[in-house]
Structure 1
Amino acid sequence: MLSELVYTRKGSGEPLVLIHGIGHRRQAWDPVFETLAQSYDVIAVDLAGFGESPAYPLKAAYDMDNACHNLSDNFAHWGIERPHVVGNSLGGAIALELGARGLARSVTALSPAGFFGTLNRVQTLTLLVLLRVTSRLPDRVLRLVSRSAIGRRLAGSSLYTHPERFTADEVYGDALALKHCRGFERTIVKGVTYSFTQHLDVPTTIAWGTRDLILPYGSSAIAQERLPEARHVALPHCGHVPMIDDPALVARVIENTAAEAGASVAA
């Protein structure tokens, strides 16, 4: 096991693992966590080097092989096998990789990485690096920004359609998580050239916010070309991290995908 991951777990039923994006933390799933926990054994995880999870050893690469290997080891440690997996952005790409490797029973990917066009690859990396640089401001400045309604909107406008729904503590916590994460640069290095090109044999849904500024909605067309076997869903009026913008819709998309896996087993 490269890294023992920190997680929050609740509910009972089939296991369902929630995987956040680069620079984020497991609390990104809070808007849908309780709803999903009514039907599933839900585990929201901090990826290695993000949130509260320790980073990989210095010689270990932040690539998909290690991400899937580490998560698979943690699945075994948690006493689960082939969970439903749900991911956003980087987490969406990891979820797809887990599905392609036979490590998941269903996959829901929200604005997943790995379907870049030439121009939006540059746009994505530029915006992510800008967010990282901004998070390096002194803590007192980050706290001041988080206490201001205008500051919260400015801080979250590239990620959400409705950043005003966040509290000051949530915005400050996210800023600190991005500021102190140790896997950011090592992940970006591998992400510059990453593309998802594999095939999936499990029920898969790729859902994309129509107002995504980080990975623009146009990238969904590339995903449809590469994964015609998946269900492709638009998330109207949602940004890059759609759980805050429309939690009911996101929960429903996840539940429908997981239910499809159950139906296929029953058949």
Structure 2
Amino acid sequence: MPAIASFPVPSAHGPRTVSVSYSRTGHGEPLLLLHGIGHHRQAWDPVIPVLAAERDVISVDLPGFGGSPALPEELRHDLPTTTAVLGALCEALKIERPHVAGNSLGGLLALELGRTGLARSVTALSPAGFWTRAEQRYAFAVLLTMRAAARRMPVPVVERLSRTAVGRAALTSTVYAHPGRRAPEAVVADTLALARATGFERTLRAGSDVLFTDDVPGIPVTVAWGSKDRLLLPRQGVRAKRILPRARLVRLPGCGHVPMNDDPALVARVILDGSR
């Protein structure tokens, strides 16, 4: 069952209370899971049973997504602020330097947590921030189109589409290479999460000038990219390897932008190997 953690975060106008929804299961060293923009913590559900056998798994709804409210107006939905929020969350949960795995925006956040000394290892799945300006504009245009379509679509239509493989492909083929494998109820939840994300515009706007340009020394880093990623193209993984020369670069054959659903066993193994 999800839980809510509330804690203070500094702002220019004094501390502001932030609330984050999360779920926690398993035993072992802590592992923090971070989803992408417009998604929710349930994106990790296909891999959590395997991860929880070896790790204390904390999957998080980022601020303004899933069950987490958007940040107070005094706080930006940018990389430094969200990193500080996640650090404060770990402190509130009494977790010291967890392993961190993230997808897309979550991968970028995972790398930033590693760079700032808040993670003991990082696994980044198709992380944002290694794009050219043209690739960034393309990705943002796709995300805005997906968001607009999800907001326009009545829930009964989403539910009807989710009952067929063709309908699930229409709703989610941009992020999944094998959308037919996603359960109908999960596709409905994914679509509603995108439509109802209160932090979507603020997060996208804050990411318009983001580039990840620094190495992450001193900890194990894995960067993994789906061979069928249609949102952040796989060549960005090669660019990431140049910036993170000590990182392990892993190809995920047949996987799309959100690979946890396309090949749960492979993704779980990559995360566990990267955190050992």
Fold-level match, TM-score > 0.5? yes
Q: What residue is the counterpart of 1:96 in the other structure? A: 111
Are residue 108 (structure 1) and residue 123 (structure 2) matched? Answer: yes
Q: What residue is the counterpart of 1:238 in the other structure? A: 255
State TM-score, norm by structure 1. 0.95
- Greater alpha carbon shift after TM alignment, 194-203 vs 20-29: 194-203
Deviations 1:24-61 (A, max 9, x none): 00000011101000001000110010000111012211
State TM-score, norm by structure 2. 0.92
Aligned partner of 2:190 among 161, 167, 174: 174
Quick one: distance in 2 between partners of 1:161 and 1:63?
A: 29
Structure 1 residue 183 displacement after superposition: 0.7
Q: What residue is the counterpart of 1:211 in the other structure? A: 228
Query: What root-mean-square deviation, in Å, do the aligned CA atoms of Structure 1 and Structure 2 show?
Result: 1.0
Structure 1 residue 229 displacement after superposition: 1.5
Q: Looking at secondary structure, tell me which structure has more helix per residue.
A: 1
Q: What residue is the counterpart of 2:239 in the other structure? A: 222
Q: What residue is the counterpart of 1:264 in the other structure? A: none
Structure 1 residue 156 displacement after superposition: 1.3
Q: What residue is the counterpart of 2:12 in the other structure? A: none
Are residue 184 (structure 1) and residue 236 (structure 2) matched? Answer: no
Residue type of the partner of 1:155? L
Q: Secondary structure at the match of 1:112?
A: coil
Are residue 159 (structure 1) and residue 175 (structure 2) matched? Answer: yes
Quick one: distance in 1 between partners of 2:140 and 2:50?
A: 33
Pairing 1:126-137 to 2, within 5 Å after superposition? 126-136=141-151, 137=153
Identity %: 49
Quick one: distance in 1 between partners of 2:117 and 2:172?
A: 35
Deviations 1:152-181 (A, max 9, x none): 011111111110011221111111111111
Q: Secondary structure at the match of 1:195?
A: coil
Q: What residue is the counterpart of 1:50 in the other structure? A: 65
Quick one: distance in 1 between partners of 2:63 and 2:154?
A: 24
Structure 1 residue 215 displacement after superposition: 0.2
Q: Looking at secondary structure, tell me which structure has more strand per residue.
A: 2
Quick one: distance in 2 between partners of 1:6 and 1:234?
A: 31
Aligned partner of 1:77 among 60, 77, 92: 92
Quick one: distance in 1 between partners of 2:64 and 2:208?
A: 18
Quick one: distance in 1 between partners of 2:150 and 2:75?
A: 25
Quick one: distance in 1 between partners of 2:173 and 2:216?
A: 33
Residue type of the partner of 1:227? L
Are residue 256 (structure 1) and residue 273 (structure 2) matched? Answer: yes
Deviations 1:168-218 (A, max 9, x none): 211111111111111100011111110011221210000000110000101
Q: Secondary structure at the match of 1:44?
A: strand
Number of equivalenced pairs: 259
Are residue 27 (structure 1) and residue 42 (structure 2) matched? Answer: yes
User: Could you tell me whether the CA contact under 8 Å between 2:33 and 2:102 is conserved in 1?
Assistant: yes
User: Could you tell me whether the CA contact under 8 Å between 2:165 and 2:179 is conserved in 1?
Assistant: no
Structure 1 residue 246 displacement after superposition: 0.9
Quick one: distance in 2 between partners of 1:148 and 1:59?
A: 44
Residue type of the partner of 1:181? A
Q: Secondary structure at the match of 1:4?
A: strand
Gaps of 5+ in 1: 260-267
Gaps of 5+ in 2: 1-7, 10-17
Residue type of the partner of 1:113? A
